[in-house]
Structure 1
Amino acid sequence: MQLLSLLATLGAALGVAAQDDVFRAPRTGAPEGFDGIIPCTFFVEFPTSVVDPAAEVKNHFAKYPTAKYALRTSFSSDLISFASFELKGQCDEDIVASIGGAIHYQAVTVRAPPVPVKDVNPLKSGAPFVHKQDQIHDLTGVNKARNELGLTGKGVKVAVIDSGIYYLHPALGGGIGPNFKVVKGHDFVGNSFNGTAESIQESDDPLDNCSDVSHGTHVTGIIAGDARDIKDPKWAPKVPFSGVAPDARIYGYRVFGCQGLTGGDIITKAIYMAAKDGVDIINMSLGGGPAFNDESDSLAVDKVVAAQQIVVLASSGNSGSNGPFATGSPANAKTGISVASFDNGETYPHLGGIIEGSTYPASLSIAEKVHLQDGQTVELVAWNLTAAADPNNISDGCFKPSNDVTGKAAFMRWGAGVCGSVARCTNAYKAGAIACIIAKNKPVDNFGITGYEKIPGMLLPQEAGDHIVRLMQAGKTVNVTATYQVFAYGQSTGGTLSSFSSPGLDLELNLKPEIAGIGGNVLSTISPHSAEHEGSPEPYIDMSGTSMSSPYTAGVVALLIEKRGKIPAASFKAYLMNNAKPAPIYNTSLTHSPSYQGAGLVDAFGAATAQTIVTPPGLALNDTVNIKNQYTIKITNNYKVDVTYALQAKTAATSTQYLSGDDFPEDQSGTLLTNDQHATVTFLSNTCSEEDTTGTKTVLVRAGASVDVDIQFTPSALAPAGNLPVYGGYISITNSIDESALSVPYVGMIGSWAEKPFWSRNSTSLLKQWLRTLVKGAQTATTGLYADTSFAPLVANDAVNATDGSFVLAIPTYTSRQASVVVQYVGGDNAMVASGFSSNIAYIKLYDAVSGDDQGPAYWQTFQRTSYQKAQGLPANLLYLWTGRAYDFDSKSKLPSLRSQALPAGNFVMRFMGLKNFGDITKPADWDVLETVPFTLVY
């Protein structure tokens, strides 16, 4: 009964039950305590009849003379009326909730600045590479759409919501205005924006020549840049290229300052302003990690798509290393298009090593403070030629050299295992070498080393190392010359999923991402400031990320709009997804899961010329508990003749992130991608011609007509309980006219997503890969309270010393809408009240045990799904320190008190509470509750 009472009390505090007769707008979006919230900062939406929302807020605060606020931004149109502001001083959310006439309010959440992926170039081996201009567009049908259909995106208006645009770049038109490529724009924040209301300085000039990455400029070049015919040597690229839709018109909306974060409210305003300006497409190469699709920017996407049929695309994220379920806002908007990344067929390094006239891509060591100069030639001497010639050797450079490298460049092969680049380059320095040159001994690996600060370092790919070894074995003197120039180089992973691309599904098992564009190694424009910062010899650079794949796909949409005119956004999504090309997992014949690649790599020509459209373009089957008895796809024949379509189900990889006996999600290296546990697909519709419902079906569709086909999916029953594998595949639809095939991805989960416990209770991988890297003697990594660093489970009535501090492991296995950690006094007296608490329940105060940072109260934090290591969209696990302090819990308030207090000595239990997937916060059965044994808090 105590637990039921506690949950009911907490539910009331969250606003589930009315507490008085005062008007309270409902709170939506991120819950209190979410670590991605900008403190005391709120977004309030009003009816569109409110034309001055800022005045509405001002009039409201006039009723509270002691309450101070600072307006961040506001906007009003026929689609939205909102204002956002910061509370100054006391963070009294009741004042926000009581704003008269408000539809709802949210806490404003952080959006980190887009960061391209570093050092991900897979190193190619194999046949010689021959570069062809705009070869990237061969992979996606863009060249074919240009050459055969004449499509260039002419007149299509594309909004770029990003870090601003260096529109003075000649490849971007050299100016801004009606007669330029960049037509207009708006700066919502200004150069000096640091996240606060006071630092915002709006203007109509979106110019960016101060951000180090020049992200928005790079994105713009991918969509519509054209560097093919520039003659000025200052701007002429060594590798000429063009964007996907070079004649598109760009509208630039700057939402980041020179450096730092922005807020969801700023991005929301940019979305609505772009809609008001009449754009056809919005691209957002930004976003966060796993989140629900009820943040203001995700809601804005759905609203502008529904009202104005704008096609909105957003990057799925760069958290691929952390495994599935990693996509976030705003890519998770229901009607937007979340874009995964495929690798380009070539890379464009701006550093090379020249060996006997052949130029190989190279990277400098990160730690070095002395560098090889452009054109500098050094003679190579093998550290150990026998080791260098052995592809399985993992110790070259780790021990004493076999040759004298004094005054020469020490050459060694990289084999991870015995020592790293720091040790190898340090050894080279101590041996008297003037440079540390390392070549990979495997065909695919990350392209980057740390090195040693006192010696120049260079990393070369495997084929360069093989070339050097052959020359040395022949007794020849081998030199390498550093060259700082952009050049094209082949990449063997071209046309397959990028390793960094964030997989889905989303948190409610919807199909995200939905499609893929080229995002791995894309050459595009940057500002002069960024070129200097990045060490690029020209204002162009190769970047990687879903930040690149999203604008690539936006450019394809521009070509489609030019060809098909203004049709519903849902139809563009269908044409894109129907004609995309699913790809296999790199170096295998197994088709990758739709939860990773969506419908597959975009095909511009196919999407522009298809005479058939199939809706819906993707099928999200949910989990085994919620799967429907049947699903229906509609095939519409826009040919002028009757067409017979052949339907066939094709399986794809099954993804399993939760492994048997381990309830914490595996990262990319531990996630299983297997060719089993497929669903049985049965075509039920009587429009199918064959009786055998599991083979290839044929469906006759009359000219200009549509036919519904009913399909049943029966998931495999092979999965062990709790593993929750994600299965999927593609329904292939081939027409009888030219035998071209469309496809519809389907994806589902085996098991019950709602029954998955929120708190980790059993994870050997978490113990080995995380906790024991911090505390070698740790015995367990189970969610709970621990008296000391042995991490031995508590025994009933154990003493927990608040003076020395104890440790808390609060480890989520996915992202929950609501979670909290509380203590409850179980003594028989009123010691809690006597100590200044309003009840026997309190939120514990936590610190990061490693950094010492104050983590505040553990009240209704989402405890967003974590990982062994931090990624762009996922936080790393935290080891929490607890010193016996807590925050008052008052059921009449939605927030804890602002001041923590020491709990009295005595007997307590600690409860970890998290709302399970699909859960209702008013139902105790929908909570995952882990309770410690009673313990005695002592000082």
Structure 2
Amino acid sequence: MVPFYLLLLLLAAVVKGSIRYTVQFESSNPADQTAFLDYLHQHHINVTVRYTFNTIMNGMSVELSEDFLPLTPESPALLLAQTLKKCPFIHRYWPGKRYPRPNVIRSTTASLAYIDPGLPNLGDMAASAGMDVINLSLGGGVSAWGEDALAVALSNLADRGIIVVVAQGNEGRDGIARTPSPAIGEHVIAVGSVDNAYRMPQYLRVSYEDNELGSYEYALTTGSNSLIHDTDLEFVPLTQHPRQKSTMGIDYEHHRNETGCGPIKQDVFGKIVLAQQGGSCSDGQKAMEVQKAGGVGLLLYGGEEQVDDMVSLDQYPVVRIPVATLHGQDGANLLQHFRPDSDRDASKLSMRFVSHTMAIKSAGQMSAFSTWGPDPEVGTNMAEWKDDVLNFSILDLANIVARAYTTMSGTSMATPYISGCVALLMQATGKAPPVSIIRHLLNHAKPIYTSSGTQLESIAKQGAGLVQIYDSIMASTYVSPYKISLNDTEHFRPLTQLTIENTSNITKIYRLKHLPVAAVAGYDFKKSAVPLRSGKYQVANGSVRFGQDSFLLDPSEKRSISVHFHQPRMPKELDQDAPISPLIYGGFLQVRQASVVGDNQTIQDKPLHVPYFGVLGNQYDLPILDKVKGYPYIGNADGNRIQPDDSRNEPMTIPTYNFEKGEKLHLYMRLGSPTTLLKCELIKINDDTIKEAVVGYVARFHNAWVPRNDNGRDNYDYSVHWNGQVALDYRGSLSPSVAAAKAAALADTQGLLSSSTIKTYPADPGVYHLRLSALKIFGDAGRKEDWESWDSLEFGIIG
């Protein structure tokens, strides 16, 4: 019997006086349910069983009374967690997650499952339960390759006839080619976000003697566990202490105090503190300092460097105060009201946190947070890019906590709308293969515009456009393919066949037209190999020639039309400096249709659209290693670069490492583009022949299918903390993920070798250097010129 995995998850619905849990057992034996309850009673924990289930998995939902909640300020789940840790019927658990069991919504023709992927094999379980549509509000993380395990697994589900709808992610501010897994999957529907007409923003309203001075929008950070809406609280900015400069001229006290990284000396008890983001510590550390000083909240604003609009406190569970960020320059503007030379009495300033509905100026445009593509190989083996479709991302959620109401935004909110659209389509037209359902949606999606209102948004951002489910249901014309990838200049595909089918019972006239969209450049290679936070729009339109642009189709007739594409010219402003940022261009093939209802009489129907895109430039030429930013380099444990000492009139001193004593060599790298392979060779120069010899390969780090880095703090660079062990077989030492690398290292230390691991050996004492090589996009690992390489400084191994 295949053992079931356990998942203990905190339900989203928390009712007053109790907390509900869902438990899954180690095996599928129903007797485990009774044994589990007996075990809890033996440990003096009385729960109420809400319901049990064993069709898809063996488990139950229980409710813990408030009488048994711990009296400490720790998590309410602590009491159960300590008991369950030793429970023989439970394999593992994750407190604080969402409920994972597929919630089945059944209609006469379609079944829809909303699932959380915290449980391994959950997709297979949903498939076994007869699901037709699987919704995964799962996105984010780092960029990925289509070969990622989760992306492949979900694509395989789609091949079994199940529609898989996934969130594209909310990393739109991390720039081009950021699509994560599983959205990068070949046959899944990836959902991006369009701004809604209205939203519920949160404001800090500042008044002086009942006269409003200004309103400043803020956002609560993820992980903040209390609200400050509709409250009046005293407000205080951090002031500057007298400057104390070090011998190197660094103003430590000024720097630490401005950002709140050190102990806060001024009186902030019972007040909300305004502090600057950035500096020498994380925002979570700042929140801890404010909390320790008695502050009741922290409001962060940006400094000279561009910082994230939203920060996370997930790694700081001890922070209990609300933490929020101000948008743009609002922090600096707010500080103006507290200037010492102001003619206003600061004690008469009043602050109120409010929230109200307001119209969104960017309604109908791409949400700034929505992640965008394309994939690294821009659809070499498939007509594929991401996003596939868009929908509005603001979802009203009722009865979340204590019967309250709230709104949430993100591609995770847009995704269930699309899943619902798919279920409606299947209910109205009957079940069909995923490719047919996707074609219905994409053929009738509505293209959207950039903020200028004059250019259609880039295909890399909007995909096929905004879904129009009514038009998809009522469709009587289909166009294949439903999206087209022309690839980059070297792999350019100039010709395709467009097939138009009239499925109605009347004759129709069709006219074809080309609608170009905004081109976008995603890099500035003079600054970094990592993409810009937001792309730069350009006017660069390719041309399209149809073999026939007007024709008539009788009922149930179809016709194939040849379509010839021509790449645009590189704009002059991008043709001055080398290397040039590749330019993503594209457009829509518009299929206008009119029904013939009588002699010389026609009725215009809504047009269909087929999106296409290509890349002007070669993906092969994209730099992988961010050498412009000084990467890679060998540094110390804190990330500071190590420089050889050549300041004296003596031979250069090189760093040395005694790995037998537990010392480590710290290698830091930053990738501007993803790579399928990273190779780190340990090289020794033969004293006699002065020739290089590869001694081994640094292993046990993520070195296969490696994502690119970003401009945010969490994924700015990668680090390898090498213990002096090398593998002799490079191919056998590859790790396709961080988790795989850790598992291999653990197996190595415990001597648990398997077919997926390989033994490593300690390098002998001597003088060496590292050579880090990254395989270029479209590169062949067997060709030396397809690798981008870097050599480290020399170092010594002693011991």
- In 2: Cα distance, 1:583 partner to 1:188 partner: 46
Q: Taking structure 1 as reference, are residues 805 and 301 closer, same or farther at Cα in structure 2, changes over 3 Å only?
A: closer
The equivalent residue for 2:536 is 673
How far off is 1:622 after superposition?
1.1
Amino acid at match of 1:917: I
- In 2: Cα distance, 1:905 partner to 1:581 partner: 65
State which of 658, 670, 676 in structure 1 corresponds to 2:523: 658
The equivalent residue for 2:159 is 306
State which of 747, 756, 762 in structure 2 corresponds to 1:901: 762
- In 1: Cα distance, 2:97 partner to 2:369 partner: 18
State which of 340, 361, 365 in structure 2 corresponds to 1:496: 365
The equivalent residue for 2:776 is 916
The equivalent residue for 2:143 is 290
How far off is 1:553 after superposition?
0.6
Structure having greater relative contact order (Cα 8 Å, sep ≥ 6): 1
Specify the SS of the correspondent of 1:503: coil
- In 2: Cα distance, 1:376 partner to 1:316 partner: 36
| 8 Å contact from structure 1 (residues 800, 806) kept in 2 | no
Specify the SS of the correspondent of 2:412: helix
- In 2: Cα distance, 1:599 partner to 1:496 partner: 13
The equivalent residue for 1:281 is 133
Q: Deviations over 1:267-318 (max 9, x none)?
A: xx322332232222111222553333334543343444334x3222111222
| 8 Å contact from structure 2 (residues 631, 669) kept in 1 | no
| 8 Å contact from structure 2 (residues 584, 616) kept in 1 | yes
- In 2: Cα distance, 1:317 partner to 1:625 partner: 30
How far off is 1:822 after superposition?
0.9
Q: Deviations over 1:657-707 (max 9, x none)?
A: 233445612232xx4332323322222x1x33xxxxxxxxx3332332112
The equivalent residue for 2:340 is none
Amino acid at match of 2:796: L
Q: Deviations over 1:196-236 (max 9, x none)?
A: x9999799xxxx9x96464879x97xx979xxxxxxxxxxx
The equivalent residue for 2:512 is 647
Q: Taking structure 1 as reference, are residues 787 and 746 closer, same or farther at Cα in structure 2, changes over 3 Å only?
A: same
State which of 584, 590, 604 in structure 2 corresponds to 1:738: 604
The equivalent residue for 1:842 is 696
Q: Deviations over 1:472-495 (max 9, x none)?
A: 99x9x8866667xx8644333332
Specify the SS of the correspondent of 1:570: helix
| 8 Å contact from structure 2 (residues 298, 324) kept in 1 | yes
Q: Taking structure 1 as reference, are residues 463 and 580 closer, same or farther at Cα in structure 2, changes over 3 Å only?
A: farther
| 8 Å contact from structure 2 (residues 176, 535) kept in 1 | no
How far off is 1:643 after superposition?
1.9
Number of residues of Structure 1 aligned to a counterpart in Structure 2: 651
Structure 2 runs not aligned, ≥5 long: 16-21, 23-51, 62-79, 239-256, 260-265, 303-307, 314-318, 338-342, 595-602, 734-755
Specify the SS of the correspondent of 1:614: strand
> Does 2:545 align with 1:682?
yes
State which of 801, 821, 830 in structure 1 corresponds to 2:656: 801
| 8 Å contact from structure 1 (residues 757, 928) kept in 2 | no
Specify the SS of the correspondent of 1:548: helix
- In 1: Cα distance, 2:681 partner to 2:351 partner: 63
How far off is 1:617 after superposition?
0.9
- In 2: Cα distance, 1:546 partner to 1:892 partner: 37
Amino acid at match of 1:294: E
- In 1: Cα distance, 2:172 partner to 2:353 partner: 33
Q: Deviations over 1:303-334 (max 9, x none)?
A: 44334x32221112222222121213322222
- In 1: Cα distance, 2:430 partner to 2:217 partner: 45
How far off is 1:924 after superposition?
1.9
How far off is 1:918 after superposition?
2.8
- In 1: Cα distance, 2:439 partner to 2:369 partner: 26
CA RMSD of aligned residues (A): 6.0
The equivalent residue for 1:714 is 566
- In 2: Cα distance, 1:381 partner to 1:816 partner: 48
| 8 Å contact from structure 1 (residues 495, 583) kept in 2 | yes
- In 2: Cα distance, 1:819 partner to 1:565 partner: 47
| 8 Å contact from structure 1 (residues 624, 750) kept in 2 | yes
**Equivalences for residues 154-165 of structure 1 within 5 A:** none
Specify the SS of the correspondent of 1:572: helix
The equivalent residue for 1:748 is 614
Specify the SS of the correspondent of 1:818: strand
| 8 Å contact from structure 1 (residues 654, 677) kept in 2 | yes
> Does 2:741 align with 1:878?
no
How far off is 1:717 after superposition?
3.9
How far off is 1:247 after superposition?
12
The equivalent residue for 1:623 is 488
- Greater shift after overlay, 896-905 or 745-754? 896-905
How far off is 1:369 after superposition?
11
How far off is 1:656 after superposition?
1.9
- In 1: Cα distance, 2:457 partner to 2:688 partner: 61
What's the TM-score, normalizing by structure 1? 0.56
| 8 Å contact from structure 2 (residues 456, 516) kept in 1 | yes
- In 2: Cα distance, 1:519 partner to 1:931 partner: 45
Q: Taking structure 1 as reference, are residues 507 and 743 closer, same or farther at Cα in structure 2, changes over 3 Å only?
A: same
Q: Taking structure 1 as reference, are residues 251 and 740 closer, same or farther at Cα in structure 2, changes over 3 Å only?
A: closer
Q: Taking structure 1 as reference, are residues 353 and 562 closer, same or farther at Cα in structure 2, changes over 3 Å only?
A: farther
- In 1: Cα distance, 2:361 partner to 2:53 partner: 38
- In 2: Cα distance, 1:814 partner to 1:797 partner: 35
Amino acid at match of 1:338: A
The equivalent residue for 2:744 is none
Q: Taking structure 1 as reference, are residues 437 and 417 closer, same or farther at Cα in structure 2, changes over 3 Å only?
A: closer
> Does 2:582 align with 1:724?
yes
The equivalent residue for 2:709 is 866
Identity of aligned residues (%): 19
**Equivalences for residues 445-484 of structure 1 within 5 A:** 446=309
The equivalent residue for 1:80 is none
| 8 Å contact from structure 1 (residues 517, 601) kept in 2 | yes
- In 1: Cα distance, 2:366 partner to 2:563 partner: 28
> Does 2:557 align with 1:705?
yes
- In 1: Cα distance, 2:731 partner to 2:538 partner: 54
The equivalent residue for 2:728 is 889
> Does 2:388 align with 1:515?
yes
- In 1: Cα distance, 2:438 partner to 2:217 partner: 39
| 8 Å contact from structure 1 (residues 657, 665) kept in 2 | no
The equivalent residue for 1:87 is none
Q: Deviations over 1:822-873 (max 9, x none)?
A: 11223258999xxxxxx952123xxxxxxxxxxx6458444421123256xx
Specify the SS of the correspondent of 2:604: coil
Amino acid at match of 2:586: G
Q: Taking structure 1 as reference, are residues 271 and 723 closer, same or farther at Cα in structure 2, changes over 3 Å only?
A: same
- In 1: Cα distance, 2:275 partner to 2:454 partner: 29
| 8 Å contact from structure 1 (residues 515, 580) kept in 2 | no
- In 2: Cα distance, 1:809 partner to 1:363 partner: 35
Q: Taking structure 1 as reference, are residues 425 and 202 closer, same or farther at Cα in structure 2, changes over 3 Å only?
A: closer
| 8 Å contact from structure 2 (residues 109, 426) kept in 1 | no
- In 1: Cα distance, 2:330 partner to 2:788 partner: 55
| 8 Å contact from structure 2 (residues 202, 353) kept in 1 | no
- In 2: Cα distance, 1:250 partner to 1:367 partner: 29
| 8 Å contact from structure 1 (residues 410, 437) kept in 2 | no
Specify the SS of the correspondent of 2:191: strand
- In 2: Cα distance, 1:247 partner to 1:165 partner: 29
- In 2: Cα distance, 1:408 partner to 1:542 partner: 31
- In 2: Cα distance, 1:502 partner to 1:704 partner: 39
How far off is 1:512 after superposition?
2.5
Structure 1 runs not aligned, ≥5 long: 1-51, 55-70, 75-112, 114-161, 170-174, 176-181, 226-244, 257-261, 384-396, 400-404, 532-536, 689-697, 779-785, 833-838, 845-855
The equivalent residue for 1:826 is 685
- In 2: Cα distance, 1:593 partner to 1:787 partner: 44
| 8 Å contact from structure 1 (residues 810, 912) kept in 2 | no
- In 2: Cα distance, 1:814 partner to 1:551 partner: 31
How far off is 1:914 after superposition?
2.7
| 8 Å contact from structure 1 (residues 164, 187) kept in 2 | no
